[in-house]
Amino acid sequence: MKNKIKKTAQLILATTLIFVACKKKAETNNTTPTTGTTTGAPVAVQTMTASVNNSNWEVTNNGGYSIVTTNIQYSFSGQTSGSNPFTSILFSLPRPISAGTYTLSQTGAVKAYYKDSSGVFYTSTIGNINITQIDTVSPANGTFKKFKATFNFTTGVVSSKSFTVNNGVIDYNK
């Protein structure tokens, strides 16, 4: 159990460091979401939105996405800004994982986190993520090329605060 907690903490720290250290990369790799029919080369779609405590939340053009892969799990997250303060929503998913509905909890293999603008991480206590599509570049590499899901969760209480995340949508297509 301690090993799982340690790996989760390392994953959260790595994700946060990637966001802060790779701000420029996130800015240059982001594309504007598009709709409609296109011809020619595929158009990258990168959308992540939700309602956090009844306020709109979304990954902005100067925010970004982070995908971290270890031998045992994926970490997929989006953040609202390229610099502090920013908020983020992060998912820890076991490898391998396929399309389906998964329960988010504080102790299970599938977890969600909300990081507030002061840098505090709140772990999901109840909720779900419905993965409708997940494609990776290769099973060994594990990098997402498509990740589509809907989600909602409630976090645990930290310093008398908790968060309710509803109507979450991820449409990531690199």
Q: What is the pLDDT along the chain (174 residues), one digit of tens a residue?
A: 445 444 444 444 444 433 333 333 333 333 333 333 334 444 566 899 999 999 999 998 777 888 888 888 999 999 998 888 899 999 999 988 899 999 999 998 999 999 999 999 999 999 999 999 988 766 555 577 889 999 999 999 999 999 999 999 999 887
The CA dihedral of 129, 134, 136, 140, to the nearest 10 degrees, is 60
For the chain, domain boundaries: 2-30+42-173
**Tokens linked to 123:** 């772990």
**Tokens linked to 171:** 């449409």
Whose tokens are 């990168």? That residue is: 46
Tell me which H or E stretch contains 11: helix 2-21
111-123 b/e (C-beta count within 10 Å ≥ 16 → b): bbbbbbeeeebbb
